[in-house]
Every structure is written in C-alpha cells, then in structure tokens.
Amino acid sequence: MLMASKFDVPCVPHNGAMGLTELTSHLSLIDYVAITGRKSMLEYADSFRENLRHPSRIIDAHYETPLAPGYSIGYTDEALERYIYPTGSFWKSEAGLNIINQPTGGEL
C-alpha cells in the first residue's frame, strides 16, 4: 500500500476466496486512515460466508467497519468439523473423495 501510494497507483486488494473479504476490508481501512485518506474499491466475494464466525457486512454498497478488536475472521465449529483435512465429513463425501482421488499427473 505504501509503494502504491508513493507512485500514485490505486491499491485494490484481491479477495476472491472464503474469508479474504474480511481481511481485505481491514486493509482498505488501514489505507484510508493511515496512508492515502482515500476510500478504495474492494471486490465482494459472497461464497461460503455461512462458514465464517463474523462475516463482513455491506451497507449501502460499502463494507461496514467492524467494531470488535482483531481481524474478525475465523470459521464456525461446524465448518471446521466439515472441512478439516483429512477427517472432516466433506472429505468422506463424493465431492471430497473426487478431489482426494484425482490424478496428480504422475500417473500419465
């Protein structure tokens, strides 16, 4: 963010994965408060939000600034039980087994 500001290049963090929206909204806030004083554009990723303890909130097309200390990320107990590798229930499902058993390239 500092280098982007020095060269007057907008900084738009990529956040297209589960939980990254919550992290990059904090980066945008840091940029606004401590570096550029400009509101920045952020990607919005809505996938798998039900697995997060504190999903980000959007109000009038803007991320709401979290008021609790910390990065406000973390997965629910249910998500951890389901997705923890290799014992989670997802990895025993057809979709999980397809991922586990896919060719690695060494078999060709």
The answer on pLDDT for 47 being more than 80 is no
**38 and 89 co-located in one domain:** no
Range of the domain at 77: 73-103
- Max Cα separation, the chain? 54
Total Cβ atoms within 10 A of residue 21: 24
The band of 108, judged by pLDDT with boundaries at 50, 70 and 90, is low
**41 and 64 co-located in one domain:** yes
The answer on pLDDT for 106 being more than 90 is no
The band of 29, judged by pLDDT with boundaries at 50, 70 and 90, is confident
In the block, tokens 């990607």 appear at 43
pLDDT at residue 86, as a whole number: 93
**78 and 30 co-located in one domain:** no
CB 23 within 8 A of CB 43: no
The band of 48, judged by pLDDT with boundaries at 50, 70 and 90, is confident
pLDDT at residue 21, as a whole number: 78
**49 and 21 co-located in one domain:** yes
**24 and 49 co-located in one domain:** yes
Average of per-residue pLDDT across 68-75: 81
**80 and 56 co-located in one domain:** no
**49 and 62 co-located in one domain:** yes
| Count of domains forming the chain | 2
**57 and 33 co-located in one domain:** yes
**53 and 11 co-located in one domain:** yes
Average of per-residue pLDDT across 33-43: 85
| 108 lies in some domain | no
- Provide CB contacts within 8 A for 49, sequence distance 6+: 18, 55
**31 and 81 co-located in one domain:** no
